[in-house]
A and B are shown apart, each in its own frame.
Chain A
């Protein structure tokens, strides 16, 4: 199976930088996704990593190390609207390629 671990809650200040970590265990890694979910809304796609390294997209970056089973999502220049849950999800080719989600990290941004 797949175990995905991420912190339950984090807080940060507007304008700051925050890093949300995710560790996972799979037998056939085939990609890691980060989604953002505002309260009461559907998850929306943020980033995708399948090779090691950093993927940058505006204020958001995502890093992957396959050998360590580790990823992080980096949010820069935090804004109040970034308060949301951030979901780490992993696809496993040896587990029918379905996308399995972690429990999510609820980020609260304070002024």
Chain B
């Protein structure tokens, strides 16, 4: 596609439920990033992939969060046993590679945990 696509754009769930957020990067971009953004804050790094492998997952807050990118393109961020504190906008971005070039962001998935 022309840009980074994220689905769903909005997700409302109940505390304790499981959630999957999907990101479809720009075709040919090898690096894919997940960030989380709360109101009034900058994007907070979660994880990034270079190809299929996670190059750095140091930003994942705990073991309830997991992300995959099995074929080096689409990525899924998975959150188990959601908590109210997980409510935020989850941003995905891609770039041509991991050490040069700017990141292109998707519109984000707004997650609300009730």
Contact = CB atoms under 8 A, between A and B. Distances in A.
B56 A98 contact: yes
Interface stretch (B11-19, B21-29, B41-49, B77-85): B41-49
Contacts of B40: 103-104, 106
B87 to A, nearest CB: 15
Contact of B102 (A42, A45, A101): A45
Size band of the interface chain B makes with A: 20 to 34
Interface string A52-92: 00000000000000000000000000000000000101010
B59 to A, nearest CB: 8
Contacts of B105: 42-44
Main secondary structure of the interface of A (DSSP, over half): strand
A87 B35 CA distance: 14
B35 to A, nearest CB: 8
B42 A103 contact: yes
Q: In the complex, which of the residues A31, A96, A102 has the most CB atoms of chain B within 10 Å of its own CB atom?
A: A96
Nearest to A2: B45
A30 interface: yes
Interface of B: 33, 35, 40-45, 48, 55-56, 58-59, 91, 98-100, 102-108
7 contacts: A42-B91, A44-B105, A87-B42, A96-B48, A98-B48, A103-B40, A103-B41
